[in-house]
Amino acid sequence: MRQKIVAGNWKMNGTPRETEALLKALVAAGRTPENCAMVVCPPYLVLHLADEILKDSPIMLGAQDMSVHDRGAYTAEVSAEMLLTAGASYVILGHSERRQYHAESDQLVNAKAKKALADGLIPIICVGETLEEREADRTEEVVGSQIGGVLAGFAPDMIARSVIAYEPVWAIGTGKTATPEMAQAVHRFIRNRVADLNQEAAETVPILYGGSVKPDNADGLLSQPDIDGALVGGAALKADDFVAIIDAA
Q: Would you say 65 or 226 has its CB closer to ligand 13P?
A: 65
CB of 96 vs ligand 13P, minimal distance in Å: 7
Closer residue to ligand 13P, CB minimum distance, 95 or 201: 95
Residue 224 CA to residue 69 CA, distance in Å, equals 37
3-state secondary structure 166-193: ECCHHHCCCCCCCCHHHHHHHHHHHHHH
Residues that contact ligand 13P, how many (by CB under 6 A): 14
Whichever of 42 and 198 has its CB closer to ligand 13P, that residue is 42
Closest residue to ligand 13P, judged by C-beta, is: 233
Rounded (10°) angle between helices 106-119 and 139-150: 40
Rule CB under 6 A: which of 226-245 touch ligand 13P? 231-235
Contacts for 154 with CB less than 8 Å, ≥ 6 apart: 113, 114, 162, 197
- In the shown chain, the binding pattern of residues 155 to 194 toward ligand 13P, with x for contact by CB under 6 A and - for none, equals ------------x----xx---------------------
Choose the catalytic residue: 95, 104, 129, 133. 95
Going residue by residue from 69 to 108, which x/- string records binding to ligand 13P, judged by CB under 6 A? --------------------------x-------------
* Alpha carbon distances (Å) from 88 to 64, 91, 237, 248: 10, 7, 19, 25
Who contacts 163 (Cβ-Cβ below 8 Å, separation ≥6)?
A: 5, 90, 122, 123, 124, 125, 205, 206, 207, 208
Whether 95 is catalytic is: yes
Q: Which residues bind ligand 13P (CB under 6 A)?
A: 9, 95, 167, 172-173, 210-213, 231-235
Q: Which residues are catalytic?
A: 95, 167
